[in-house]
Amino acid sequence: LAKTTQPISMDSYEGQEVNITCSHNNIATNDYITWYQQFPSQGPRFIIQGYKTKVTNEVASLFIPADRKSSTLSLPRVSLSDTAVYYCLVKGPGGGNKLTFGTGTQLKVEL
Amino acid sequence: NAGVTQTPKFQVLKTGQSMTLQCAQDMNHNSMYWYRQDPGMGLRLIYYSASEGTTDKGEVPNGYNVSRLNKREFSLRLESAAPSQTSVYFCASSEDQGSSGRLYNEQFFGPGTRLTVL
C-alpha cells in the first residue's frame, strides 16, 4: 500500500476555499486516490475518488497532477459543519479491499 | 435502508470480562470490517471478512476474535478485555472490489461503539 503524507491540521474561516494536499510518491499504476471525512463521534464517510486529472462532485473537487505523486482535495466555501478530519488513502485493486488510514488532517473552520 | 448498524453504542467493562460487539449491514455487501480508533489516531484494521464464512487478520488482531455469522452480520469478540482495548470500534462494509466500477475503496461505516475497559 502506498504511503501518504498530509498536514496534521489546518485552520480556515467560513466562506473560504480549503485545499488539503496529500503526498503519495510511491503510488502504483493501478492505485486510486480516495478521500474520507470523519466528524467527531462518527465513522468515516467516503467523499471522493479519482485516478487522474480532476474529479468533482457535490461535496468537493479532487485535483491530481499528471505524475500522480500528490493530490489536492478542494472544499469550496467551507462552513462550520466542514470541521472534521480528512483522510487521504491510496490503493488499487490488488490485495483485497483493506484500507490503511493515517492520522488524517484535522480541519477546523471558524467564524 | 439503515446502512451499517452497531450495538451497543457504549460499554464499560472490567479487566478480564468478555463481550461481543455486534454489526449488521443491509446493503448486501460481501465484505465487512472491524476497526479500532484510539484518541487522536487514525483507524486500524482488526479483522475483515471478504465473504460469508471467511475471515482474515488485519493490522491489530491480537486479543480479538470474529465471526461472520451470515452475509449481514459480523461480530467482534473480546474474550478477556484489557485496558489497552479501550477504544472506539467501527464496523464497515463494502461491495466486492471492482464490482461498482472504479469505486474500489468506498467503505460504509457504522456509528461506532465506545468501549472503556477499567
A101 and chain B in contact, CB less than 8 A: yes
B61 and chain A in contact, CB less than 8 A: no
Flag whether pLDDT at B102 surpasses 60. Answer: no
Give the pLDDT confidence score for residue A30 in this predicted structure.
Answer: 83
Question: Measured between beta carbons, which residues in chain A are less than 8 angstroms from residue B102?
Answer: 32, 49, 51
What would the grid cell of residue A3 be?
Answer: 504511503
Please give, one letter per residue, the 3-state secondary structure of chain B. Answer: CCCEEEECCEEEECCCCCEEEEEEECCCCCEEEEEEECCCCCEEEEEEEEECCEEEECCCCCCCEEEECCCCEEEEEECCCCHHHCEEEEEEEECCCCCCCCCCCCCEECCCEEEEEC
B102 and A32 within 8 Å at the Cβ level: the answer is yes
Give the pLDDT confidence score for residue A101 in this predicted structure.
Answer: 83
Question: Measured between beta carbons, which residues in chain A are less than 8 angstroms from residue B31?
Answer: 97
Q: How confident is the model at residue A3 (pLDDT cuts 50, 70, 90)?
A: confident
Flag whether pLDDT at A1 surpasses 70. Answer: no
Give the pLDDT confidence score for residue A96 in this predicted structure.
Answer: 61
pLDDT tens digits, B41-84? 889 999 999 888 899 999 899 999 999 989 999 999 999 999 99
